[in-house]
Amino acid sequence: MSISTICCIGAGYVGGPTMSVIAQKNPSIKVIVVDMNQARIDAWNSEDLDKLPIFEPGLDAVVAEARGRNLFFSTDVEGAIHEADMIFISVNTPTKTYGAGKGMAADLQYVELCARQIAKIATSDKIVVEKSTLPVKTAEAIKDILENTGTGVNFEILSNPEFLAEGTAVQDLEAPDRVLIGGDQTESGLKAIEALVNIYATWVPKNQIITTNLWSSELSKLTANAFLAQRVSSINALTELCESTGANIDDVAKAIGTDSRIGPKFLKASVGFGGSCFQKDILNLVYICKSLGLDEAANYWEQVIIMNNHQRSRFAQQIVTSLYGTVAGKKIGFLGWAFKKDTNDTRESAAIYIADKLIEEQAHIQVYDPKVTAVQMHSDLNGLNSRTETENSQFLDIHNNPYTALEGAHALAVITEWDEFKTYDWQKIYDGMLKPAFIFDGRNILDQAALETIGFTYKAIGR
């Protein structure tokens, strides 16, 4: 089965980069990324590559090579669906904020809308690919909608979950650990799987392309994120013990990470994980387990979230306790707002929740992040609905310069592990802060000995 045109519905963090790399590696295939958000599409089409809606190292070069050749960004959703042989669904699947499963289940309304739109517009056979992170058996719902159109069009449904880490998304796409493709194990289903395998095989070795059935593919994505988040919460669960006993969490992590059965990845103590996937996917997994009566399994995975939330709260409380039990009227400088370095994504960032707790204690937060805009920071804090927007604006100041953000601060908190933070003139920062000058290193990235020599009171996670 030969594919000449691909359509991707959704120009976000997954759809945009993934389709850009597919287009780059398959110049003979036309790739159209569509989205109803005109501003987002305009940004993808901007001549100034610094204005792409997503910051990912290396993405600008990929877009520059393929855009206008065989990669196109458009708001013409209907036209792209009609033209395409293969359609990727890459829309948002947030946690439900209403009804059954509120706070846990995935909200699939956008996925269903995509399926209904495809069913309405398609006049020729299509392969429909789930790219969004979805609960097990979602493909069954998509298939039911598509197969009951009465138009005589044949649809094959595939699951092709993404395994991207923000900040290294282009690298992960160009040299993936694996590509997972699930589909029906029928003659037509296997042909559809082969068509998608051939697209990836233009640059990914075939032994790294795993094929399976639909349900195994859907569950594998949730499981991967759950396991990674579990490792973060596991190492963070030991940080309090280290602080209480005099152990050093970095030494502990190194010692256990050298065990080949464990490995060193995702064992970095921190203020906790954030991003669009880990919490959402674990909550989804918890909901699925509970809905099937698997309470023990649900409780096990829910504890990963509980530990992550505790770590954020504990960090905020440590700042309050260290500053003599009160931060009222005090300035706390934040270095970083994105949930991790090398991305402008702030979804579920620890910074939002730590700032919220400190503002509740009447602290004034002064923030610097090299990629996150002031508009986004205010939106994130207001989104918690802890207080009015006017009240938040009185306590949150955003700076374009790290030195002004820390000027006159009683303490600074490192929230994101941006590499540039290690290169600052820390003597200059110390001179501009109120004494005693506290550093709360929420990512354990700074040189403790050098900072204490200057005069800082340095506090890190788990040591």
Structure tokens at 418: 């941006």
The residue type at 426: W
Closest CA to 373 of 45, 53, 56, 12: 53
Active-site residue, from 7, 114, 242, 277: 277
CA distances from 126 to 21, 29, 328 (A): 22, 15, 60
Q: HEC profile for the chain?
A: CCCCEEEEECCCCCHHHHHHHHHHHCCCCEEEEECCCHHHHHHHCCCCHHHCCCCCCCHHHHHHHHECCCEEEECCHHHHHHHCCEEEECCCCCECCCCCCCCCCECCHHHHHHHHHHHHHCCCCEEEEECCCCCCCHHHHHHHHHHCCCCCCCEEEEECCCCCCCCCHHHHHHCCCCEEEEECCCHHHHHHHHHHHHHHCCCCCHHHEEEECHHHHHHHHHHHHHHHHHHHHHHHHCHHHHHHHCCCHHHHHHHHHCCCCCCCCCCCCCCCCCCCCHHHHHHHHHHHHHHCCCHHHHHHHHHHHHHHHHHHHHHHHHHHHHCCCCCCCCEEEEECCCCCCCCCCCCCCHHHHHHHHHHHCCCEEEEECCCCCHHHHHHHHHCCCCCCHHHHHHHEEEECCHHHHHCCCCEEEECCCCHHHHHCCHHHHHHHCCCCCEEEECCCCCCHHHHHHHCCEEEECCC
The verdict on whether 277 is a catalytic residue reads yes
Tell me which residues are annotated as active site: 277
